[in-house]
Structure 1
Amino acid sequence: MRRGGTWSYVIRVTDSKGLSKPRWVGGFPTESAAKRARDEARMAASNGDYVNRSATTVAEYLNEWLAVHALEVKPRTRAGYAHLIENYVAPRIGGKRLQALRATDLSILYRELLESGGKNGRPLSARTVEYVHAVLRKALADAVRNDQLLTSNPAERAKRPRKAHAEPVIMWTATDLVSFLETASQHRLHAFFRLSAYTGARRGELANLRWSDVNLGDAPTIRLRGTVSVIAGTRVEGTTKGGRERTISIDPGTAAVMIEHHRRQQLERELAGGSWTDGDHVFRQELGEPLFPDTPTALMTKLLRQHNAAAAAVGEKPLTVIRLHDLRHLHATLLLKVGVPVHVVANRLGHADPAITLRVYAHVLDDQASQAASVFAQALLDEGRNEANPGSSDSSADRPTP
């Protein structure tokens, strides 16, 4: 049917209550275009796949999706989604009508981002492009399943960017760690780095730690119940990454460092007087305000610079520059290398499933696997010696110290 300068069609569609209602759709430039769209709509309606024609753009839908999605994800996750959409998606395909979006459009978007999507037209990392794809796939899946604006998800058919190979983590030795912690021991936040390296906790988890969750008795532990992130310059506390709290044992040496940290904090409190901000946070700024997680990250870079300058002055080898998060990797790697069970390491790291630990630290376990044959052969040899010399197995000199 012609309406003004365009053509329209009408079909009957059964709603969720089983009632048949007419649906008018217009805006087609020719009668043949309207008929083709009508036939497609009839087919979709008969299959239960019919969606109302909508002028909603990609940007409009994604903004609405973010507003709804904020109810089911953490604030930091939502902020990450918004950043990707605002900086990489909306400027390129935001004005396109959602129902006209094709898989090819997304494939072109990914290619353009890889080539010139970064700052000042530089290439964007493949990892970031993968994140863009993941967000679009999730949003468009909701457009199909929940909002019924699309019959299928174009992101599922788009040519995805090639997965980026994970950069190898540069790892310190145990000696390197001891050397760094010796330098850090002169700083008021020494305990933060000690706890990070000796527990594998995330920086946000330590920034959220309370003294009420620290046990420095005979069997010292810390309980990690939440995390801290920074959104638009504001410090935001929330649940841990996996949503579960966990209790981690700490060694007596680390407990002693924590006791000294508490003593130093009490002195700072006395010096600050009325300027001190009350609270129970373990790690604080000089006047008692809770610590921002970015602070120890920047501090580690500064301490490494100081350490290496001092090492160069006496002709010693400098430490490789690593990130604060790499202390977490170092903790896991050293535990796995000495044979601590994967599920125990996973619990310390807060991984919901040991399979995550297996995947992240596969290279460490591969190294262990390569030595398995030698370990087995040595075990048989030792067992044979014990059978040949029964008395030797009772010798306290050969028995490992508990």
Structure 2
Amino acid sequence: MASFQKYTTKQGQMWMFKMDTGINPQTGKRKTTTRRGFKTKKEAQVAANKLEQELISGTTIDNLNLTFGDVFNQWFSNHSKTIKQSTKKSIESKFKKHILPRFGKLKINEITRPYCQQMINEISQNITSVNDIKIQANQVFKYALKMDIIQKNPLEHVSIPKQQKDLINEDNYENERNYWKKNEVKQFLVVTKEELSLRDHVLFHLLIYTGARKGELLALKWDDINFETGFIRLTKTLFHDNGEFIFQTSKTKESRRLISLDTKTLSLLKKWRIEQIQANLANSNNRFKDEIVFTRDNGSPMRLAYLNDKLSSLIKKHKLHRITIHGLRHTHASLLFEAGASIKEVQERLGHSDIQMTMNIYTHVTDDLKEQTAEKFQRYIEL
């Protein structure tokens, strides 16, 4: 039989129940389980009746004692063998920072849907990528379901709260814009040409003119660039882990792509190539000599955070509209649309595996393009 009890939380009154789950065959002692997070006594009673039926049908005591952390370790030991090192590190970080502190010590059979909703609500107040956190946690619950550790996924049907930044109005739209317009791009490139080294100027120029990811550019080797045909090959990305630089293949087939370069960009790359060769001649200890396109002065790969820091510094110094490094990729896509490129062309150039990602950028295209759309309609209808 289960016993029911009301308790108080920051969110208000909740209900819990305790139930005898039988004898542990390993210790010979009786075991009890406690489940919390029910809004009403009736919800707790329904859950208690369901648990009782599960015990009758043969659910093991061992499974009832497994914590979310235990199941995470089981799942991740298998899953980590199928993913890249950078993805593994990213997933571990999300669980360590956001998921395990909230779920890790709880018995996975005792985690309820109301508790999951409460946790998602709390996480959404602190970070913007709450949906990704939910997706990662859900993988553990799906694994537990698959392994018959739980009978129902408590994270199913849990909703993501609307964040304030999503409620864009005319007053805050300009501040939320994570891309530059054409005049802002020109202003920024004048600044980088005048104030930065040629290497850094070429890097920012490429970010804007190709839409490549920073990891893709920092992993570039000179044999990835064909100066005769005017194409650049993007097939790998640079990853930094525990002081070690790792060159790994791009995540998806679409990310591995060949894109064209304009004559101005090719000219800048040739100029940088000459300067780098001259610098390498003076540095005989450069173990990456004549291989990697963008390196530190000693020839080693550059820090991934370097471009973020440099961009933030220039924006602050010159009071530019604030965007992120990813915003430069968004900028390239937006200006492509403004120049008349099709959605399919932009998708292929940026290496999006899902066209919806390209569509999302298209819906945030610049005001100038929106004005051009109205003008196109006017010219057509007045013919």
Tell me whether the two structures share a fold, i.e. TM-score over 0.5. yes
- Among 103, 118, 122, which residue is 1:108 paired with? 118
Matched-pair contact (CA < 8 Å) for 2:280–2:289? no
Matched, 1:247 2:258: yes
Aligned ranges 1:347-362 → 2 under 5 Å: 347-362=348-363
In structure 2, do the counterparts of structure 1 residues 51 and 153 end up closer, same or farther at CA, with 3 Å as the change threshold? farther
The 2-side partners of 1:173 and 1:369 are apart by 13
2:212 is matched with: 201
Q: 1:371 to 1:69 in 2, by over 3 A?
A: same
Query: Structure 1 residues 301 and 159, CA, compared in 2 at 3 Å: closer, same or farther?
Result: closer
Supply the distance in 1 between the matched residues of 2:123 and 2:356 (Cα, whole angstroms). Answer: 32
Seen in structure 2, the aligned counterparts of structure 1 residues 214 and 53 have a Cα distance that, compared at 3 Å, is same
Q: Offset of 1:366 from its aligned partner?
A: 9.0
What is the Cα deviation at residue 249 of structure 1?
Answer: 0.5
Per-residue CA distance 1:23-65 (angstroms, 9 max, x = gap): xx984459xxx9985643455x7xxxx6774121111221232
Structure 2 distance, partners of 1:36, 1:252, is: 69
Q: 1:109 to 1:96 in 2, by over 3 A?
A: same
Alpha carbons of 1:273 and 1:89: their partners in 2 closer, same or farther (altered >3 Å)? same
Cα distance in 2 for partners of 1:40, 1:101 equals 15
Determine the C-alpha separation between the residues in 2 that align with 1:238 and 1:276: 19
Is 1:321 the counterpart of 2:322? The answer is: yes
How far off is 1:341 after superposition? Answer: 0.6
Instruction: Give, in whole Å, the separation in 1 of the partners of 2:358 and 2:159.
Output: 29
Deviations 1:216-272 (A, max 9, x none): 12x311010011233344333222243441011110000000000101110110121
TM-score by length of 2: 0.77
Higher RCO structure, 1 or 2 (CA under 8 Å, sep 6+) = 2
Q: Report the Cα distance in structure 2 between the residues aligned to 1:343 and 1:159, rounded to whole angstroms.
A: 32
Rg (Cα) greater in structure: 1
- The answer to whether 1:169 aligns with 2:181 is no
1:120-269 pair list within 5 angstroms: 124-125=126-127, 127-145=128-146, 147-162=147-162, 165-166=165-166, 168-185=176-193, 186-187=196-197, 188-217=199-228, 219-244=229-254, 245-269=256-280
Q: Does the Cα contact within 8 Å between 2:286 and 2:300 map onto a contact in 1?
A: no
> Where in structure 2 are the equivalents of 1:315-394 lying within 5 Å?
318-364=319-365, 372=373, 374-379=375-380, 381=382
Q: 2:72 pairs with 42, 62, 67, which one?
A: 62
Counterparts of 2:295 and 2:275 in 1: how far apart (Å)?
11
Provide the rounded CA distance (Å) in 2 between the counterparts of 1:60 and 1:321.
Answer: 43
Cα distance in 1 for partners of 2:253, 2:226 equals: 22
Q: Is the 8 A contact 1:269 1:276 kept in 2?
A: no
Does the aligned pair in 1 maintain the 2:22–2:32 contact within 8 Å? no
Cα distance, 1:195–1:39 mapped onto 2, change above 3 Å: closer
Pairwise CA distance, 1:67: 2.1
Contact 2:178 2:330 in 1 (8 A): no
Runs (5+) with no aligned partner, structure 2: 1-19, 34-47, 167-174
Q: 1:5-29, CA deviations, whole angstroms, 9 ceiling, x for partnerless residues?
A: x77389xxxxxxxxxxxxxx98445
> Contact 2:277/2:290 (CA < 8 Å) preserved in 1?
no
Aligned length: 336
Cα 1:66–1:148 change in 2 (3 A) is same
> Is the 1:7–1:26 contact (alpha carbons within 8 Å) kept by the matching residues of 2?
no
Q: Which runs of 5+ in 1 are unaligned?
A: 1-5, 11-24, 115-122, 309-317, 383-402
**Cα distance change of structure 1 residues 261 and 8 upon mapping to structure 2, 3 Å threshold:** same
Q: 1:61 to 1:359 in 2, by over 3 A?
A: same
Alignment CA distance shift 1:35-1:91 (3 Å): closer
Inter-partner Cα distance in structure 1 for 2:262 and 2:49 = 76
Deviations 1:137-175 (A, max 9, x none): 122112112x22112211114354435645832432323
Q: Distance in 2 between matches of 1:111 and 1:355?
A: 26
TM-score normalised by structure 1 residue count: 0.73
Measure how far apart 1:284 and its partner are. 0.7
Verify the 8 A CA contact 1:51 1:150 in the aligned structure 2: no
Deviation larger for 335-344 or 358-367? 358-367
